[in-house]
């Protein structure tokens, strides 16, 4: 697997990581835990070194599975997790919080569940409007100085927030949705990341399955599948959004590859400091995704895909209204 470097602080990872949320939630019933432990270990054998989880996934159970799976392989992988949500005494999510005391408590819990002495990349999951970002960055800096965290990241943060945080503690990576299906980061944050030397880790780089070519205009989403709640996947929106997939599929057919591989290769071609984290829980799909690292798109092909994306207006918001409100654009 070809390696890439996130940020000027030099976190080296596989050019494609693995988004782990789906191994415990989000896309319908999950396989049993032993199967997912085996899958994660197999992913390491296939070349993945960056594994992305969060305390809120579950909550908590996702980190436990990742920790169990990767403990014997800890020296071969980089573990990324996230803080920033609040929970009640029963462990149910109740909102967001990045108060310093909550960050410290979250890190102690993540370290325990991940079975590690240090988190390689710690993200603020969502910007907390009630806590100055300087306080957040300062707290993470203290955790880095204490050896409990190696690198600081932000998720869904806007350019002003990124700059303010970076001035206190260098930011290694920003996590944000980015794909042929969602290109807002090109206007909102990519110039800032390039200027400051910060890597980008796109989540949902396949548009939550849209860009794989597996969905049709008749697709429906069952219980436990988060897409059932997302405006983009409502029937009329899905029918319109699949116009882009038809254009990506045409390129894939010409090259003898899959639409998902084309979509990931397009992302990798944008900048050498971009590391997508497509999620899957099937080894054959993992291998398909990893094949995108070996797919060379010419400048003309990449430009053609960009033009195809420009030609299709995405219908529907990314999230339901309450989740949409958590995105920082400042």
Residues annotated as part of the active site: 57
Q: What single string gives the DSSP state of each residue in 11-52?
A: EEEESS-EE-GGGTSSBSSPPPHHHHHHHHHHHHHTT--EEE
Tokens of 32: 């049993």
Cβ pair 46, 283 in contact under 8 A:
yes
d(CA 86, CA 147): 24
Other beta carbons within 10 angstroms of residue 66's beta carbon come to: 31
* Half-sphere CA count of 10, side-chain side, radius 13 A: 0
d(CA 141, CA 322): 30
- Alpha helices by DSSP H, 17-147: 33-45, 61-70, 100-114, 133-145
| 91 Ramachandran zone, left/alpha/beta (phi>0; psi -120 to 50) | left
Containing H/E element for 207? Answer: none
Other beta carbons within 10 angstroms of residue 242's beta carbon come to: 17
* Half-sphere CA count of 318, side-chain side, radius 13 A: 18
Q: Nearest to residue 21, comparing CAs of 215, 162, 225?
A: 225
Cβ pair 165, 134 in contact under 8 A:
yes
């Amino acid at each position: 697997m070809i390696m890439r470097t996130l940020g000027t602080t030099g976190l080296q990872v596989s050019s494609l990581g693995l988004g782990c949320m789906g191994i415990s939630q989000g896309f319908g019933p999950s396989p049993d835990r032993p199967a997912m432990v085996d899958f994660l270990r197999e992913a390491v054998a296939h070349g993945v070194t960056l594994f992305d989880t969060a305390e809120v996934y579950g909550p908590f159970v996702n980190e436990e599975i990742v920790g169990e799976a990767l403990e014997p392989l800890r020296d071969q992988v980089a573990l990324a997790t996230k803080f920033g949500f609040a929970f009640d005494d029963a462990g149910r999510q109740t909102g967001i919080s990045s108060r310093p005391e909550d960050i410290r408590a979250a890190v102690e819990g993540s370290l325990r569940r991940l079975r590690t002495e240090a988190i390689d990349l710690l993200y603020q999951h969502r910007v907390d409007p009630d806590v100055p970002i300087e306080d957040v960055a300062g707290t993470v800096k203290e955790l880095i100085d204490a050896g409990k965290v190696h690198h600081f990241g932000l998720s869904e943060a806007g350019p002003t927030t990124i700059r303010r945080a970076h001035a206190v503690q260098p930011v290694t990576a920003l996590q944000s949705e980015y794909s042929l299906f969602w290109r807002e980061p090109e206007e909102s944050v990519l110039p800032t990341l390039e200027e400051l030397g910060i890597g980008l880790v796109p989540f949902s780089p396949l548009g939550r399955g849209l860009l794989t070519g597996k969905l049709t205009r008749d697709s429906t989403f069952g219980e436990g599948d988060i897409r059932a709640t997302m405006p983009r996947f409502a029937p009329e929106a899905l029918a319109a959004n699949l116009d882009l997939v038809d254009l990506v599929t045409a390129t894939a057919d010409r090259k003898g590859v899959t639409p998902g591989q084309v979509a990931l290769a397009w992302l990798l071609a944008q900048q050498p400091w971009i590391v997508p984290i497509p999620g899957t829980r099937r080894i054959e799909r993992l291998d398909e995704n990893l094949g995108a690292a070996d797919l060379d798109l010419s400048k003309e092909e990449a430009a053609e895909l960009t033009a195809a994306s420009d030609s299709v207006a995405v219908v529907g918001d990314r999230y339901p209204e309450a989740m949409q409100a958590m995105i920082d654009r400042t």
